[in-house]
Amino acid sequence: MVRLRSPSTLSEVEGLSFSFALYALSSTLSENYFKMIKLRVPSQLKQFDRLKTGDIVLLSGIIYTARDQAHKRLVEALKKHKKLPFDLKDQVIYYCGPSKTPKGKIIGSSGPTTASRMDEFTPVLLKAGIRGMIGKGSRSKEVIEAVKKYKAVYFLTYAGCGALLSKYVTKMKPVTYKDLGAEAIYRLEVKDFPLIVGIDSGGNNIYTIRNTQYAIPKNKQKKARF
Amino acid sequence: MRIIRADKIKNLVSELCILANLNLRKDVLTKLKSSYSKEKNKRANQILFAIIQNAKIAREEGIAICQDTGMPVVFVGIGQEVFVSGDLKAAIMRGVGSGYKKGFLRGSVAKNPLKRGKPGYLPCVIHIDIVKGNKIKLTVLPKGFGCENKSALKMFKPTAGISEIKKFIVDTVKSAGPDACPPYIVGVGIGGTADYAGLLAKKALLRKLQAPSSLPVRQAGKLQANYKLEYDLLREINKLNIGPMGLGGKTTALAVNIETYPTHISGLPVAVNISCHALRSATGIL
């Protein structure tokens, strides 16, 4: 793992490139608290079991966007035992409705949307085989239980940072429900997409344990798990 | 009387939409930077850093700050000596439409709130006010709905104490928790009617965010009471340990802006309009 000094002054912050700076900060952060892990999906899905709440993950591979209306349709289709427009098994769903793609760019602004709005649909999708979700904010008890049951992971990503996150997307292709505009399902290829584990496969929720985590003495937090 | 062509209004609105969505407000950015310097929590610090970087990338590369380019809210202050030649409302709508298209912004408006369907750019929400003078002031506030969903209104008894009102405001932030993209800017409207308090809360978001240290806490007059309340609330909210992305830290809110208005003897409406850290607005004058 690369260890870099954290930028301390504002002029340093302004001058740094975003990826370098994120990397620098991530590394100082993980020194003290958590690990930073590079993962590829779907090929390294097995690693999901080893992720712990609070870990920083740089995700590469294929993810699918879906938000409110797409969730509603997917769940309705599942309930009626209809064939789905794409195979949900082992996929990672990103709660995102990107803005339009400017000329010369791969994707427009593409940050996470509030995950709790998807709560009522998530257990059904987890049952159908999805293994990961990316969003922002807290989840319901039912979702946490389902995440545990199906050994999935809920990731957080940088909320309100759509321009920054668009830099980690290398390909974008609409898949289905194109009539929904921004709410359609897109297949995204991402590289080192920065995430924080929000709920790990053991059902540990970052919003309930974060305070106790920070209370752990620093020397004990350094323990490496990988 | 001064004549202003509707076309001019359209063009300005179009520019303002792009400006607001691509360039984070300077006062917000300044506040974020000062929070970054003060925040001790490392994870919070990292997130604030990402937010500052995000604003930079958006500005330099012409990408929207946030994918949720909001439901556009347009505030119009028309000088009473102005004559608008053409259809004012249609011009504003056309301006929003063309600005959102040109800026590659997201169409996030569901035409039918019940049937939903494919989202588009329009319509926007327009608030028109008649003011003195011979100019038109236009402000575009693209309001994302992650935070708009956490708005709250409470009709207090006229005998309610300030501590009750404070508790309601702090509780509203608490219930927004990590979901609405903290650090927040909390807009509060106190007084008027139920609808007017809501409008005041939204208008409060347009006011420049001031550094707590520069607040004239000790000065006399009407403003003083508001500033004191803002200052106290900000301190209380930042003790909630919600922090950026809800992962802890003392940066839960960047500012609390309060607007007040006289109200009826039988009531005391208080509205809270929360904004995410990407508080975007742009103003132009014709």
The H or E element containing residue A200 is: none
CB-nearest partner of B54 from A13, A164, A182: A164
Summary mean pLDDT of chain B: 92
Same domain, B134 and B154: no
Nearest by CB: A100 against B106, B146, B177:
B106
Q: How confident is the model at residue A226 (pLDDT cuts 50, 70, 90)?
A: very low
Contact B177, B242 (CB under 8 A): yes
- In this predicted structure, the answer to whether residue B170 has a pLDDT above a threshold of 80 is yes
Instruction: Please give the ipTM for the structure prediction.
Output: 0.91
> CATH code at A184?
3.20.130.10
Residue A5 has what pLDDT?
Answer: 45
Instruction: Look at strands A36-41 and B253-263 and give their pairing.
Output: unpaired
* Closest CA–CA distance from residue A110 to any residue of chain B (Å): 5
Residue A124 corresponds to which tokens in the numbers above?
């059904």
The tokens describing B124, both together, are 């926007």
Same domain, A40 and A25: no
Please indicate whether, in this complex, the C-beta atoms of B58 and A7 are within 8 angstroms of each other.
no
Of A55, A59, A145, A24, which is closest to residue B247 (Cα–Cα)?
A: A55
Last residue of a domain, which of B109, B143, B177? B143
- Domain holding A189, by residue range, is 35-221
Q: Is the domain of A57 the same as that of A146?
A: yes
Residue A202 per-residue DSSP state: T
Last residue within a domain, chosen from B128, B143, B158: B143
Q: Which pLDDT score is estimated for A215? A: 39
Cβ <8 Å between B246 and A96: no
Same domain, A88 and A23: no
Per-residue pLDDT of B46-104, as tens digits, reads: 899 899 999 999 999 999 999 999 999 999 999 999 999 999 999 999 999 999 999 99
Tokens of A193: 């997409």
- Residue closest to B187 by CA, chosen among B172, B174, B176, B203: B203
**Mean pLDDT, to the nearest integer, of B112-123?**
90
pLDDT digits over A8-30, tens only? 444 455 555 555 556 655 555 54
| Structure confidence by residue, pLDDT tens digits, A81-94 | 999 988 999 999 99
Q: Which domain holds residue B78?
A: 2-23+65-143
Q: Which amino acid is at B230?
A: E
CA nearest to B103 within chain A: A102
Q: Which residues of A71-108 are buried (b: 16+ CB within 10 A; e: fewer)?
A: bbbbbeebeeeeeeeeebeebbbbbbbbbbbbeebbbb
